[in-house]
A and B are shown apart, each in its own frame.
Chain A
Amino acid sequence: MSTDGRGETLPILPIDPQTLLALHRKMVTTREAERIWADMLEKREFYLMGHFGTGQEAVGVGLGHALEATDYLFPTHRGIAEYVGKGMSQDDIWAEYFTKPAGPARGKGGLHLSQYEVGLVGLVGSLGADYAISAGAALSAKLRQSGQVTVIGFGEGTSSQADLGSTMNVAALWKLPLVFAMTNNSWCELSPAEEHVCTPLVAPRADGYGIPWSVVDGNDVAAVYSAAKTVVERVRSGAGPYFLEFMSYRMGPHWSGDDGSYMCEDDLCAWRERDPIALCEQRLVEQGVASAADLAGVREAAVAEVTAAIARAGSLPDLTYDDMLAGVYTGAPAGAAREVS
C-alpha cells in the first residue's frame, strides 16, 4: 500500500501483439466515429451534440478492454472510448444515438448509453452522480460475492463534486471492489484545470483515505491496459479500492458547439506529438506487428464500419408516440403515461 505521498509505480505487463492490435483498432474506431459525428454536426445532418474525447481514446479503450463483460464500467461523459473498449458495437451505439427502438435501450438512451449484457449499466448527466451509484454496484458485488469489479470513470473536472470524497470514504471503509479511474485531460469544460483543481494531481488525495494510487501515462494505451489489468485483478482479489489517474490531454473543445478558441495552440501542438493513436502505431510498426499499409487498412475498415452503422441506424424504424410514453415504470404500457398526462 502506497501512502507515502508518491503513489505506486505499477509494473508494465508484457502485451501480446493481438491485444495491442485490438486496442489500436478500438482507438481508431472511436476516433473515426467521433470525427464522422462532428462532420455530420458541421453539415447539420445530425441533431446530437457531442463531448468528444479526441486525444484521450487510450484511457477509455484500455480500461474497457481490460475488464470482463460482467464487470461494471461507469463511463465518463466524454466520447465513446469506454463503450467501444467494453465491447458495445457501432450498430448499438448509433441505434441509440438515433433514438431508434431497435437499440439496446429501445432508443431511450441518447447520449446516456447503456448495454447491460456488457456491463454498461448507464450514464448520468449530472456529473458525479455516478460516484454513489458505482459504490452501490460495488457493494452489491461484494454482498453477492460475485467477483465483479466496478470501475468509476471521471475527469479531473468532476473530481470537485463532493461525492468523490464520500465515495472514497465508503470504498475504503467497506473495502469495496471499486476502481477510481480518473482522466486528467487538463481541461474542465471550458476552463483550464488549474482554475478548478488546487493541485496538479488528484490521486494523492487517495492517501487520506488509505487508498493506494498510481499515476499512469494515459496516452500510452499499453500502459493504460497494463495498469488496469494489474489493478482490476488486485481489486477483484479483495484488496479494496484503488485510484488510477491517467495523464492525458483533450485535443479538442468541450463540446461540439464550442470552437475551443480558449485553448492554447502551443499546448495542442505539443500534445499532438503524444497522440495516443500515433504512439500506438509507432510501436506496432517498430515491433513489426503491422505495416503502414496495415494501419491504413484499419482506419479504412473503421470508417466503413462506422459509416455503415450510421446508415443502418438512420434507416431503422422511428419510435412512435406510444414508444415514447412507454417504459417509465417497469412493464408500464404507453397507456399509463397517456392516462396521467
Chain B
Amino acid sequence: MAEMPYAAAVNRALAEELAHDERVVLLGEDVRAGMFGTTSGLVQRFGEDRVINTPIWENGIAGMALGLAITGLRPIAEVMFADFMYLAMDQIANQIASWTYMTGGQTSVPLVIRTAGGAGFAIGYNHSQVTESAFVGPPGLKVVAPSNAADAYGLLKTAVRDDDPVLVFEHKFLYFVPQEVPDEEFLVPLGKANVLRPGDDVTIVAIGSMVGKALEAAETLAAEGISAEVIDPRTLVPLDQETIFGSVARTGRLVTVEEGRKRGSVGSEIAAEVAEKVFGSLKAPVVRVAAPDIPVPPGPLAESMYVPSAERIVETVRGLVA
C-alpha cells in the first residue's frame, strides 16, 4: 500500500476510468494543466478529445455535461471551486436533477461533477466554502463527500460508472495530505457509510474534512473515558440511514460535524431524520457542530475560528455525556 496525496488518488481514478471506458470524457476550466493536480497529465495520455478545456463558464460546463450525457457519452465535469457550483445551480438543480424523471427514463444522465471545496487557504468568501448542503435537496442527484484519499479514489470510480448524476465534493485542503491508498483497483459503493471508530457513548457523524478532526476528538475523549463512535457517511445522498440510526440507537447521543454553516446544513437533515425515526433512543439533544452563519471570513485568524476544530467537538461531546 502506497501513500499518495488525495489529489493524486483522484488523478489515478480519473486515468483508470478514462482507460476503462472510451465514452468517458473530462471537461472543465484548465483541466489540461490541472489547477490542483487532479487532472494533470491526462491530456498527454488520452488526448484533447477526451480531456477538454472549457472557457470560464460554470453553468455551461454543467449544461454541456448534461448534453453529453443524454447523447451517449459519460462526462466528468470539473467546477474548480465548490463556491462556483452556485453559478451552475440552474443546470444542476433544475435540469440535471430532473432529466431522467422528466423524460420517463428514455435517457439516463451518467455524469459526474467534481468540485473542490473548503477552507485552508484563508482567502475567504468565494474560494473557501463547502457547498454540498445546497445540493442535498434536489431529487435526482447523488452526492458524495470523500474524507480521505482512498475514498476519493474509490467513490469517484463508482460515481463514473453510475448511470445517475453524481456530485463529488472534494476538499482542496485534503488534496495535499498524503494518505494510504491500496495498490490494487477497488470501488467504494455509494450509499454506504464507513464506521471509522466504534464507540458506545456518543455517535459522531462527520463529513469531509471534519472526519479527521472527529477522529482526533475521539482520541482525546477516549483518554477521558468517553467512548465515541465516528461515522463518515461518505455519501450524503443516498444517506446510509441504517448505519447512523443503528449507531444512535446504541449510543443514545448524536453530534454531527461539518465544515459548512449550521443553518440548512447536512447535519440539520440528519438530525431531523434521527428525531423522526429513533427519537425514543435519544438520551440527549442532537447537536450540530458547524461553521457560524456568516460568510467565510478572510485571513488565517478568522478562518481558524470559523472552521470547527477538534477542541469544539470534544467540548460538545463532554457537554452531552456529562
* Residue in B91, B95, B164 whose CB lies within 8 Å of A329: B164
> Once the chains are docked, how many angstroms separate the CA of A131 from the CA of B60?
8
How many Å from the CB of A238 to the closest CB on chain B? 15
CB under 8 Å from chain A, chain B span 45-87: 49, 52, 54-55, 57, 59-60, 62-73, 75
With an 8 Å Cβ cutoff, the count of chain B residues facing the other chain is 42
How many Å from the CB of B304 to the closest CB on chain A? 37
Contacting pair A136 B63 (CB below 8 A): yes
Task: From B99-107, B167-175, B291-299, give the one contacting chain A.
Answer: B99-107
> Once the chains are docked, how many angstroms separate the CA of A124 from the CA of B66?
12
How many Å from the CB of B118 to the closest CB on chain A? 27
With an 8 Å Cβ cutoff, the count of chain A residues facing the other chain is 45
Task: From A5-13, A24-32, A140-148, give the one contacting chain B.
Answer: A140-148
Q: Is A315 part of the binding interface, using a Cβ–Cβ cutoff of 8 Å?
A: no
How many Å from the CB of A189 to the closest CB on chain B? 18
Q: Is A155 part of the binding interface, using a Cβ–Cβ cutoff of 8 Å?
A: no
| Contact flag A169-B67 (CB < 8 Å), given A132-B91, A330-B108 | no
Contacting pair B63 A135 (CB below 8 A): yes
> Once the chains are docked, how many angstroms separate the CA of A132 from the CA of B106?
20
| Contact flag A327-B54 (CB < 8 Å), given A126-B94, A136-B65 | no
Which A residues are in CB contact (< 8 Å) with B15? none
Question: Per-residue CB proximity of A91-108 to B under 8 Å, as 1/0?
Answer: 000000000000111111
Listed residue (A108, A139, A328) with the most chain B CB atoms within 10 angstroms of its CB: A139
Contacting pair A109 B103 (CB below 8 A): yes
Q: Is A239 part of the binding interface, using a Cβ–Cβ cutoff of 8 Å?
A: no
Contacting pair B100 A329 (CB below 8 A): yes
Contacting pair A143 B104 (CB below 8 A): no
Listed residue (A112, A115, A124, A173) with the most chain B CB atoms within 10 angstroms of its CB: A124
Which A residues are in CB contact (< 8 Å) with B102? 105, 108-109, 112, 114, 122
Which A residues are in CB contact (< 8 Å) with B163? 330-331
Contacting pair B107 A116 (CB below 8 A): yes
Which B residues are in CB contact (< 8 Å) with A214? none
Contacting pair B99 A122 (CB below 8 A): yes
Which A residues are in CB contact (< 8 Å) with B49? 143
Contacting pair A337 B139 (CB below 8 A): yes
How many Å from the CB of A45 to the closest CB on chain B? 25
> Once the chains are docked, how many angstroms separate the CA of A124 from the CA of B91?
10
Which A residues are in CB contact (< 8 Å) with B164? 329-330
Q: Is A167 part of the binding interface, using a Cβ–Cβ cutoff of 8 Å?
A: yes
How many Å from the CB of A109 to the closest CB on chain B? 6
Which B residues are in CB contact (< 8 Å) with A105? 102-104, 106
Q: Is A68 part of the binding interface, using a Cβ–Cβ cutoff of 8 Å?
A: no
Contacting pair A133 B105 (CB below 8 A): no
* Residue in B52, B54, B106, B140 whose CB lies within 8 Å of A116: B106
Q: Is A186 part of the binding interface, using a Cβ–Cβ cutoff of 8 Å?
A: no
Contacting pair A133 B63 (CB below 8 A): yes
Which A residues are in CB contact (< 8 Å) with B95? 124, 126, 129, 133
Which A residues are in CB contact (< 8 Å) with B109? 330
| Contact flag A126-B140 (CB < 8 Å), given A108-B101, A173-B55, A327-B100 | no
Q: Is B180 part of the binding interface, using a Cβ–Cβ cutoff of 8 Å?
A: no
> Once the chains are docked, how many angstroms separate the CA of A109 from the CA of B101?
8
CB under 8 Å from chain B, chain A span 280-307: none
Which B residues are in CB contact (< 8 Å) with A207? none
Listed residue (A107, A131, A328) with the most chain B CB atoms within 10 angstroms of its CB: A328
Q: Is B25 part of the binding interface, using a Cβ–Cβ cutoff of 8 Å?
A: yes
Q: Is B238 part of the binding interface, using a Cβ–Cβ cutoff of 8 Å?
A: yes
Closest to B69 in A: A136
How many Å from the CB of B315 to the closest CB on chain A? 34
> Once the chains are docked, how many angstroms separate the CA of A5 from the CA of B90?
34
**20 interchain pairs, CB-CB under 8 A:** A105-B102, A108-B101, A108-B102, A109-B104, A116-B107, A122-B70, A122-B102, A129-B63, A129-B90, A129-B94, A131-B63, A132-B63, A133-B66, A133-B91, A136-B64, A140-B67, A170-B60, A327-B100, A328-B140, A340-B139
